[in-house]
Amino acid sequence: MVAQFTYRKGWSELLGLISLPYAELYAERKDGSWMRLGGLVDSGAVISILHYDYARELGIERVEETDVKGYIYGVCRGRREVTRILVYVHKIRLRIGEEIFEVRVGFAESGVEVPTIIGRLDIFDKYIVQFDDAKRIISFMKDFSKISKPLSEPRS
């Protein structure tokens, strides 16, 4: 087991009080220190999304200067409709437990309030990420030998 986290309570206008898979990760600043970076683990999100201000805190001064930028669609804080969000993709170093690795993240454009979303890109390919809704625990594991076989073979 690399790391395990307990779900956190959240509020949904539709459903009321709910439990959400939340993980405490750490991002490395340019000076080598670590910044706590907790967020919602979202297996439906391709890329991890961070607030624009986090880029500055990590030492990325020119967020807009990147070869990879584009729009994603999601729900922002305080809005009910799906919103188009410009993101600037950068590589940062993350730590889960004692494991350190590079991951591509999208920093949302300045002025857009987004929650921290931990998506699949560069993370889910390194770990078995297990959501245990019954126990309200999310686990990041490395032991691929414990993966159960699928009930049926994938279709061609």
pLDDT digits (tens, 9 = 90+) for 99-142: 999 999 999 987 777 889 999 999 999 999 999 999 999 999 98
- Tens of pLDDT, residues 7-38: 999 988 788 999 999 999 999 999 999 999 99
pTM comes to 0.83
pLDDT of residue 23: 96
Q: Determine the pLDDT at residue 79.
A: 60
For residue 133, the Cα-to-chain-centroid distance in whole angstroms is 18
CA distance 81 to 131: 27
Distance CA 20, CA 18 (A): 7
Contacts of 74 (CB under 8 A, 6+ apart): 49, 82, 83, 85, 114, 117
Q: What is the CATH number of domain 3-144?
A: 2.40.70.10
